[in-house]
Amino acid sequence: MYFDREKIRLWLALVWVVTVGFMWYGFNVGLNDPNKIMLSALDRLESSVIQEDWEQAGAEISLLNNTFMANEFLIRVTNSPEDLSTFRRELNEAAVLVKNQADDVITQIGGLKEEVMTITTVFSGI
């Protein structure tokens, strides 16, 4: 079978498109669970802060941090370093606010929800 330059380019382009499609699908499936876990933890964190249950709020912050650490590699592959550093900064600020039992953590939760949506979206900059 004879392959000229046009056929080779066509096959390479086809393989590239199929590979990117599978990669995109795999990342979406891989980030679906962390997204759900983190958003539900943020909802529970918000209700704990409203009820001033600071022990539960601390547990939810720990769950957020543990979920992020467990999926850090996949999140790093699909996001920019700026998104990750912003999320870590906001999470650390929320942890300090919960530790000090400050009601300002409610405003931090809104920022964290946006950051969770950003870091669990595959190639969010595209």
Express each pLDDT in 64-82 by its tens digit.
Answer: 999 999 988 888 888 888 8
Confidence (pTM) = 0.77
Range of the domain at 85: 5-119
Express each pLDDT in 26-73 by its tens digit.
Answer: 888 888 888 888 899 999 999 999 999 999 999 999 999 999 999 888
From the list 45, 47, 64, the residue with the least C-alpha distance to 115 is 64
Is residue 2 predicted with pLDDT exceeding 80? no
Q: Report how many domains make up the chain.
A: 1
Q: Which residues, 6+ apart, have CB-to-CB distance to 44 below 8 Å?
A: 56, 60
In a domain, 67, yes or no: yes
In a domain, 115, yes or no: yes
In a domain, 85, yes or no: yes
Domain CATH for 28: 1.20.120.290
Helices (H) and strands (E) in the chain, counts: 5, 0
Per-residue pLDDT band for 96 (boundaries 50, 70, 90) equals: very high
Q: What per-residue confidence (pLDDT) applies to 95?
A: 94
Per-residue pLDDT band for 12 (boundaries 50, 70, 90) equals: very high
In a domain, 126, yes or no: no
Amino acid identity, position 61: I
Question: What is the rounded CA–CA span in Å between residue 4 and residue 8?
Answer: 6
In a domain, 88, yes or no: yes
76 secondary structure, DSSP code: H
Q: Average pLDDT, whole number, for the chain?
A: 89
